[in-house]
Amino acid sequence: MKRSQTALEARLLFIAAVAVVTLIGLCVMAVGVAAAMTRTPAGSGPSKKVSESTALKAGRGKILYADSFHTAGRWSTSPLEPPGTTFTYTPSGYEIVGTGSFVHTAIPPYLTAIQQVSMSITATQPAGSPANTGFGVVCRRGVGAARVQYEIYVGGSQWVVERRDGAISGAAPFVIKEGSSPTAAGPAPMTIVGMCATLADGVSSRVAVFVNGANVVDLVDTATALSGHGWLTGLIVVSSEKAPNTVTVTRFEDRDLAA
């Protein structure tokens, strides 16, 4: 009888131990499942896309293309006739000479369309250049009648944001907004950053401008159409009928604002 009772007690203790181990295992599994449910998946996190209320800085975004113009041949050096524009690599940088009352455009070799893009130019122009002449950046998307282009520049002591709708050959730009620039275009190097960010609705664009790091304008504009895969970029030189304008570019950058 004593042996039977001892064996029974041992069996009961064994069953109890198994039950405790099983319970602990279930608790560990439950904690693991809960942690997996609350863990942030790899590569996810807060969206970096620009919204209407996103705080912007001049250096925002991943650099996609940058050029300091030490190596000739990347940008075109073929003259444009008309309106009369020359492009030359010099020891000082990429020199653009524009004549007449025109906006002259140079296109970078980076031709990937970006939905939310930032462009920057660092350049100089001679002292005593005609009033309202200067330089800046441009973003464009679509072709023909569906083309939309924002031209962002500092001319003299004014910053300007203008839009051009439709085919470039027949579309006249109109000013969306302009104001007094903290720095005038001249012999001191000036950096202009322009941002064109298509918003979530697919029809509105947030356009922001920085001059030497200072935010001078930040607006939302709605064009008639926003076709195409995204924005392409370039730099611009604004000249006058009074005299040619010579701009020397020492740096250009494209950035993806959402990366």
For the chain, counts of helices (H) and of strands (E): 1, 14
- Average pLDDT score over the chain: 85
For residue 191, pLDDT over 50 is answered with yes
Strands 245-256 and 93-98: antiparallel
Fold of 62-256: Jelly Rolls (2.60.120)
Mean pLDDT of the region 115-128:
97
Torsion angle (degrees, nearest 10) of CA 119, 259, 71, 252? 10
CA distances from 122 to 69, 113, 115, 202 (A): 11, 22, 23, 30
pLDDT of residue 82: 81
User: Has residue 63 got a pLDDT over 90?
Assistant: yes
| Per-residue model confidence (pLDDT) at position 46 | 60
What is the model's pTM?
0.81
**What CA–CA distance (Å, rounded) separates 13 from 31?**
27
CA distance 140 to 134: 19
Q: Is the dihedral of CA 19, 20, 21, 22 positive or negative?
A: positive
- Tokens in use for 211? 């001059």
Strands 158-165, 148-155: pairing kind: antiparallel
- Write the pLDDT tens digit of every residue in 3-19: 344 443 433 333 333 34
pLDDT for 158-182, tens place per residue? 999 999 998 877 778 999 999 999 9
Residue 25 scores a pLDDT above 80: no
pLDDT digits 0-9 by tens, 75-85: 999 999 888 89
pLDDT in tens, 30-41: 334 333 333 433
